[in-house]
Chains A and B, each alone.
Chain A
Amino acid sequence: MASYEIEIILNRQLADCLSIPVFITDTAGNLIFYNEPADKILGTSFEDTGEMKVEEWSTIFKPLDEAGAPLPPEGLPLVNTLSDQLPHHKVFWIESLKGANEKISVTSYPIIGRNGKFLGAVAIFWNTQDT
């Protein structure tokens, strides 16, 4: 079995130590890890789901703009990072599991390994309670 690159493994280990939700994907957008604080957003745990295909986990989110209209995928930071291998940041709303709209900010960054190879991406969800 081929193991993940060290850069991916170390990102997971870091995510495991953080109290903010972190999602890690491969280069195709498949969710290969999310930490415990991310459980609340997905409504499930990594221990239960394991890895999730991009088409599976992307439907869990319902990203909305300020007016409550659905955001297209190309408006999302992680999608942009997977596309252009650059960091992105955006504030938007998601429909929570309870049905309420929650304002969040998301920072995504590419994992570029030592040899300059694009290995995957990380999205960090920040709680946004002000403006």
Chain B
Amino acid sequence: MYDLIIVGAGPAGITAGIYAARKRMDFLVVTQDIGGQAALSWDIENYIGYQFITGMELVKKFREHLEQFKVGIKEGEQVNLISRYKDTILIETDKGNYESRTVVIASGRKPRRLGVDGEDGFKNRGVTYCATCDGPLFAGRDVAVIGGGNSALDAVLQLSKISGRIYLIDAAPQLRADPVMVEKAEKSGNVFIYNNTMVERIFGEKFVQGISVSRSGRTEDLDVQGVFIEIGSFPSSGFVNDVAKNDTGEILVNCRNETSVPGIFAAGDVTDVPAKQIIVACGEGAKAVLSAFEYNNKHA
């Protein structure tokens, strides 16, 4: 029986780990990857102490900080179910089961899927959710970016320097992204913006060859080799059913990071805390562990 299990190792989970280590708790970190969404951020200019750092570098520093302590990290492990039985929290994963007195859920968010034909079949065959990772592979090729927010425009601006034609496909009448980004895209010369447009399907043979889009009842095929899906994210909270969530699936927490189930705490972007920021997630991870520590002392 552990004192604490931390689910996830993004900014919230890693901070939670550092606080738990300093409190000498007997704990484990169970996570699919290290860094979470922060690892994929390009430029970070609002993490205090660094005027500029890339997500990759920041995550490396987070990791080094955590690994100063002797911490059990189960990497590449997926949590399937968290439930409470009497005073014990049970954690079932794809590799085994754990028991703990408390848990901090810091599992973050995952990219939202478009939900059209061809999306799954062509995943990593032209369809990608990580422009930062795969963008350079589409140098000189024609691509489509789906979405209209800052992450979509970020992808467009990265690609506009290297790709051929870039079609920006947005379902809304107007792009939501910051005007400064939209202006840059409009000026780039190789970005074609399609408002009010839905993606119908993604097609190809072995790799993506194009997409069908529809605008005011008219369907058009666009020849593209890459499809970058940037339509936001959803909270990764599907493995815990007993805690209260809002209608988008975010776990409800109070100012002590307590959920509706005693012993289960949550922190970071998986919760209903409004500011989805690295620095906020770090603070929330720290708070959650301090609450879990206090909970264990009270229930000793």
Chains A and B bind each other: no
